[in-house]
Amino acid sequence: MTLDQAVHGQAPPDVSAGTPARAEPCPSPELSRVIPVSGRRRSVPRWLRRAVGPVVLLVLWQVLSSTGVLPVGMLASPGTIAATGGGLVADGTLPSAMLVSLQRVAVGLLLGGVAGVALALASGLSRLGEDVIDVTVQMLRSIPWVGVIPLFIIWLGIGEAPKIALIALGVAFHLYLNVYAGIRGVDARLVEAGTSLGLSRRGLIRHVVLPGALPGAMTGLRYSLATAWLALVFGEQVNADDGLGFLMNQAREFFRTDVIVVCLAVYAILGLIADLVVRTLERLLLQWRPTFTGQ
């Protein structure tokens, strides 16, 4: 077969016979230039563009504080807050509080992560597991987890246990939902292809199902980290004698808005670091994914 014929075979039916000849030539349309991407932008580096928003906010805040529009009693100025933060770091209060809080988050994340992923695997991979686990988890999920704090205090006392349990609870639900959805979202045609390649059930799970569920798991991890910090704030408001939440509670007693903002800033920075960790993980683990990355 020659190339010509093959292309011809694909071509739409010839319609020229029935079409009347055009009487007058077409007017030429107005042309506009397509501007190459490399020609524009690239003037400002990416990190600088990202820093613009926070910096503008800080400057505005400082200006409002200095001019007296924002009373010091309501919110301290960024300058004061920086000084207070420096003091808290210097006398060791802030580092030790952060260490305690980080430990709580780490333990809660680990316990909740193990529980959430294990449940998701059990119900995602087997229909029996789905029938037994999924309905239960979906039911419990609709309970607002902050509402169980009083119960946790009654059950677990006022030590570390209720705080960690609260974090673990929030983490477990998010991971469960996203990992389960990730497993069930794996393309059935890829599973079939894996079967045709002779993969065993274990091989299918390892080479097809779990990698396919990874994007969902990453989304779950992102939500989990955010929830972990949130649960930490709630947990540490309850009878804590150290940690960031305790520091904030104490500052409230003495109307120290600067200390409160320092703690909030620490939460924000820790959240930012957590996000950075997830982003790095995604870049390493999901580099195969053909997704839109913005323009």
Partner 1 sequence: MATDLHGPVNESVRHAAGQSAGAAPGAAVRVGGLVRSFDGRAVVDDLHLTVRPGEFVALLGRSGCGKSTLLRVLAGLDREIEGEVLVPRRKAVAFQAPRLMPWKRVWRNVVLGLPGRPDRGTAVRALDEVGLGHRADAWPKTLSGGEAQRASLARALVREPDLLLLDEPFGALDALTRIRAQQLVAEVWQRRGCAVLLVTHDVEEALLLADRALVMAGGRIAYETEVALPRPRDSSDPRFAALRARLLDRLGVAGAPVPPPEQPQSPAPARAHAGADENGTDTP
Tell me which residues touch partner 1 (CB under 8 A). Answer: 1-11, 13-14, 17, 189-190, 192-199, 203, 207-208, 211-212, 214, 287-290
**Under 8 Å between Cβ of 144 and 82:** no
Tell the smallest beta-carbon distance from residue 265 to partner 1 (Å). Answer: 38
Q: Measured on CA atoms in the order 153, 117, 184, 125, is the torsion positive or negative?
A: negative
Tell the smallest beta-carbon distance from residue 9 to partner 1 (Å). Answer: 5
Tell the smallest beta-carbon distance from residue 123 to partner 1 (Å). Answer: 22
Distance CA 240, CA 163 (A): 9
**Under 8 Å between Cβ of 179 and 120:** yes
DSSP string, 21-39: PPSSPPPPPPP-PPPPGGG
Nearer to partner 1, 29 or 290 (CB): 290
The residues, any chain, with a CB within 8 Å of residue 74's CB and separated by 6 or more, are 257
Tell the smallest beta-carbon distance from residue 128 to partner 1 (Å). Answer: 21
Nearer to partner 1, 18 or 147 (CB): 18
In the chain, the amino acid numbered 109 is L
Nearer to partner 1, 203 or 271 (CB): 203
Q: Give φ, ψ of 255 to 5 degrees.
A: 55, 35
Distance CA 96, CA 108 (A): 18
Tell the smallest beta-carbon distance from residue 205 to partner 1 (Å). Answer: 13
Tell the smallest beta-carbon distance from residue 220 to partner 1 (Å). Answer: 17
Nearer to partner 1, 3 or 31 (CB): 3
Nearer to partner 1, 27 or 290 (CB): 290
Nearer to partner 1, 4 or 253 (CB): 4
Distance CA 152, CA 149 (A): 5
Nearer to partner 1, 14 or 24 (CB): 14
Nearer to partner 1, 52 or 193 (CB): 193
Tell the smallest beta-carbon distance from residue 166 to partner 1 (Å). Answer: 35
Tell the smallest beta-carbon distance from residue 184 to partner 1 (Å). Answer: 17
The C-alpha angle with vertex 191 and arms to 188 and 192, in degrees rounded to 5, equals 90
**Under 8 Å between Cβ of 112 and 169:** yes
DSSP string, 96-155: HHHHHHHHHHHHHHHHHHHHHHHHHHHHHH-HHHIIIIIHHHHHHHTS-GGGGHHHHHHH
Structure tokens at 55: 């910096």
